[in-house]
Amino acid sequence: SIDSQSVSQRVRELFVPCRFSRKALKTMKCWGFLVVYLLGSALLPSFAMAVDQSKFRTCSQTSFCRRHRGGHSMDLYKYKIVEDSVHFHIPSEDLKEEEKKKPEGGASIWKSFQERLLGGSNDSDKNEKDPHVRGPTPQLTGLLVNTASETSTGHKEKLEFSVHAMSDGLVRLRVTEVYQEAGTAHEKARVTYDELVLTPETMIPAEHAHWIRPGEDYLTKLVDPADKGNYMALQYGDKKGEHGMLLLFRIDSFAAFLYRESDLDGGPIVTFGEQQLTHFEIRRTKESQAKPSDSAEDDKSEDSDAAASDESGQAKPEKEIVGYWEDGLAIYADGTREERKVVEGDHRKLTEMELDREGLWEENFQSHKDSKPYGPMSIGADIGFPKSRALYGLPEHATSTMLKNTAGEGAEYKDPFRLYNLDVFEYDLDVPMSLYGAVPLLVSQSMHTGTSGVFWFNPTETFVDIQEDKAHAGKSSHWISESGIIDLFFIPGPTPKEFYRQYAKLTGVLALPPMFSLGYHQCRWNYKDEQDVYQVHDKFEELDYPYDVLWLDIEHTDGKRYFTWDDNLFPNPEEMQEKLWSQGRRMVTIIDPHVKRDDQYHIHKEATAKGLYIKDKDGKKDYDGWCWPGSSSYLDFTDAKARTWWAEQFAYDKYKGSTPSLFTWNDMNEPSVFNGPEVSMQKDLRNLRGDEHREWHNLYGMLFHRSTAEGHIHRNKGENMRPFVLSRSFFAGTQRYGAIWTGDNAAEWSHLEIASPMLLGLNVGAISFVGADVGGFFGNTDAELMTRWMQAGAYTPFFRGHAHHDAKRREPWMFGEETMVRLRKAAMARYALLPYWYTIFAEAGSTGMPVMRTMWMEYPTTEGLFAIDDQYLIGSDLLVKPVTAPGVVETAVKFPTDDSWYDAESLKVVTQKGTPGSFKVVTVPSDIDTIPVFQRGGSIIARKLRLRRSTQMMTKDPFTLYVALDASKKATGSLYMDDEETFNHQTKGEYALATFTADFSDSVATIKNIVDVGAGWAGQAGSLSNSYTIERIIVMGLQEAPNSVDVGSTTLGFTYDSHAKVLVIRRPNISAIAEWEMLVKP
């Protein structure tokens, strides 16, 4: 519970129009509310700070999920390929053939196909049917017909499908309505957002493809000869004569099966529709619905709600509303607050096989109504992974990294995993409910089929069931989305590295962040004024405690008007930033997407004049929702003009008080609307193109993030400085724009424990620049919990301490000298490893591999590690096992026996290499001064060991190489280097990648450096060498001391510890960007 003082403070912050700190109370509305403020806990009940799950819908409260979950509607959808409609396309050859057949003065079949399925015509005619699709054109197209005796529309239903084979084994299956049927509700294409999510420039068509027609003898390799007439297939690949992959189609009872041609006998690695759960609700008009029960029920619902609802679809209150709490409950003018009503679901109890027809044309949740003008539009399918026992992905959920079953025998959750971005206030743990972001990527790891997966490209609300598939000794998933199309990318693997390289071709790679953003960030809601900022900064300086960024939350603004400063609290923002920057520190301010509806506020005034806001359900009025500033509007970030305008607001002459050392934090961008359904927007709102919010909900946070990042780039002359923007909400592709954190966690051991699984889940989704609030956002932490969290946070990609304003101050020195020293030690370990972190981020930006890796990503044949999520790898070479419980003095670590492992602090070997594909449990010391971290044998890692107070001061510090020899007495490792802040590594080739090798297997050992120097740095090794020197080389696992160590004609000094088996080579005076060879003689 919260004490009365905290409640009063919360009241003051949420009721923005009556802010006492800036303006006098001017209206009678405020006087009623003042009573609440003065009496505090006397009028307000105490409340526990935990998520109110009644605010958020479950599958059973959601009509489209309720209709289709568990095969409820499968009798209405029986699809079959129309064989005569199937056409095989080799675009370059197909075009030539079709041009020959082109009637004089008429359009070719190929051009018609482009217009019908691709929207690819360059003509100015009005007949482009699918203008939204991007990427390679398909090799196979055709029609599906629904052969069910009764369909959901009561009419014959047809769909179109297309198959797009791509390089690297990728293949795309799209299923849409038949758009060219004039006069139908589905004449125009359903909106999709390829141009906002996908990266078509890296989606390359497969070089070769071959259609295996129904009945061909080749099919007997895959199916019973008697059934070969019911199947066809597409072979495709990147080398002539080596197709590589095969996508098999079942014609009647439409389904698809992905095979690797190198292992046809092993069976398919991914299946689509095999369980016949594919459904596609065809758009129709309400008048065309033949079921009288539908209109009767909906009319009854409309009549009963008409008197009680306003034009926004929200129930009319009996008393005047003057504000809203973050939980969506109203604040009334008389000072009271709305009480939570427990509303039982009012949908009919249905038999298992009866179709649930409620909510087709209108749907209510609590006091909110969704008008659903286009009726039911849901799509879905089952996707299976034969012979796989482990599925991952679908972030973001506060659950284990390996997904638990939600359906079938032995289900651990009763509800499906939900993908619908929401502002969840202090979320619960071990539940499948939605959180702040969504990535519809599902990954399978199997001893039999390796790594494979699917990307379900659909940004609408989606539910996913996971269950056992006993028939195929594997797992199956059932996807149900509210709208959109079936747009499925099969990702074949077969290794984790290949899988993530393939996925990166679809949604892009991680953007290399500036080095400072990998340091420690200090944040609080809120550092109250400039004096507070200076005191915190000066204390870090006094204690030689490294940090890089100090953050300001919403209270720094003028009444929650973003791009402004409170003149009383922050009268000199530029001077404040310059002071911190003079000592190597940056600042971050928060900027949320809600814009205060104040005609005197320049952002609102200009956005209104330009018509950039999201509209109401009629597409006429600017939407008005409630958030931190009170009455707010929201820009339409799906619109390019709105994104461009928003980015322009970060210009230094527009964002007054900003400097090049100021960066941005995007919060509340799910989007959060306090008085909206599920604390978000109504689904029937419109963007500027007229598309409903339900179609692009999950994209909103990412597009806001993108626009802010673009603003950071454009604000600087030459647009050459890398941005840093933290966002809470995300979607697939967010990795291109910046960092993500796990939102409003709590200062509890359980939240520290769940942090690693959640962050690993995000990395499975290729969102790598991630972290959790160190110390926990809500509540108060003690010295032990803070120590363990700081130790854990130091080994996560994004490293920030943050706290709620009701929490006690928790800067590192607030827990006493002894604890401060421990916290500083953890931060110092982070800073020492920054060269390694930066190298791994650069690798992720090149290969798509996550930064923070599950054990199976590096050890995909060790099945005993598939479920492990309480330990993880940074890159391939550091194993981390955070301590997440109180009173721990020793920890059991599972070491893969494919490699030997060294303690990263003592440098001693912990375990030797053993049988590949297994692991060894070793109990290691882990008292309060220790976090278990280990370096893999066979690796070389660069560190910087000089204590500095920020990354800016470390730029020219020398490196120390840590060489961990493997069982064959060899090791290798990389070090990536550039200027750490600009795009010159991309635009001018100003970078170097050093590859170090050590070989102690011969009588004369060698340590070498081979360097890939970018064109911009070529020939500059001499002038740059002083900035990239190596001052020390430490070799672990060396059994005997050498007699000499030489580089060229120079003999180097060294020491050898016979107990630890560690050789230290001192002051070699060599450069990391120059090639050299060192001889270590016995």
Query: Where in the sequence numbering do the catalytic residues fall?
Result: 667, 670, 744
What phi and psi values does residue 1070 have, to the nearest 5 degrees? -125, 160
d(CA 141, CA 225): 25
- φ/ψ of residue 878, rounded to 5: -120, 125
Q: What's the CA gap between 896 and 910, in Å, rounded? A: 12
Burial class (CB in 10 A: 0-12, 13-18, 19+), 4: middle
User: What end-to-end distance do the CA atoms of the chain give, in Å?
Assistant: 68
Q: What's the Cα-to-Cα distance from 499 to each of 238, 495, 733, rounded to whole Å?
A: 16, 6, 16
Query: What is the distance between the alpha carbons of residues 353 and 605, in angstroms, rounded to a whole number?
Result: 55
Could you tell me the two tokens for 22? 């800036």
- CB of 110 closer than 8 Å to CB of 100: no
The number of beta carbons lying within 10 Å of the beta carbon of residue 750 is: 15
Measured between alpha carbons, how far is 773 from 523 in angstroms, rounded to an integer? Answer: 9
Estimate the crossing angle of helix 700-714 against helix 640-648, to 10 degrees.
Answer: 40
For 216-237, give the DSSP string: -GGGGGTS-GGGGGGEEEEEEE
Give kind and range of the element (H or E) at residue 1008.
Answer: strand 1005-1013
Q: What distance in Å separates the CA atoms of residue 237 and residue 609, rounded to the nearest whole number?
A: 53
Residue partners of 318: CB distance under 8 A and separation at least 6: none
Name every residue whose Cβ is closer than 8 Å to that of residue 265 and which is 6 or more positions away in sequence: none
Locate tokens 């809470």: which residue? 728
The conformation of residue 651, written as its DSSP 8-state character, comes to S
Residue 530 φ/ψ, nearest 5 degrees = -60, -35
Contact 357, 293 (CB under 8 A): yes
CA dist 874 and 866 (Å) reads 17
Question: Tokens 């598309």 correspond to what residue?
Answer: 691
Pair of tokens at residue 972: 């290798």
CA distance 279 to 480: 9
Tell me the HSE value of 22 on the side-chain side, using a 13 A CA sphere.
17
Q: Helix, strand, coil: what percent of the chain each, to 5?
A: 25, 25, 45
* CB 904, CB 933: distance < 8 Å: yes
480 contacts 377 by C-beta, under 8 angstroms: no
Other CB atoms within 10 Å distance of the CB of residue 619: 15
Phi, psi angles (nearest 5°) of residue 186: -115, 30
Query: Do residues 342 and 54 touch, judged by C-beta distance below 8 A?
Result: yes
Q: Shortest CA distance to 384 belongs to which of 500, 319, 470?
A: 470
DSSP string, 759-781: HHHHHHTT--SEE--BT-SBS--
Residue found under tokens 């991309």: 986
Distances in whole angstroms, Cα of residue 310 to Cα of each of 16, 306, 395, 860:
24, 8, 36, 56
Q: How far is the CA of 8 from the CAs of 255, 329, 336, 747, in angstroms?
A: 59, 16, 13, 22
Q: Which residues contact 653 (CB under 8 A, 6 or more apart)?
A: none
CA 1042, 1043, 1046, 1050 dihedral sign is positive
Q: What is the DSSP letter of 349?
A: P
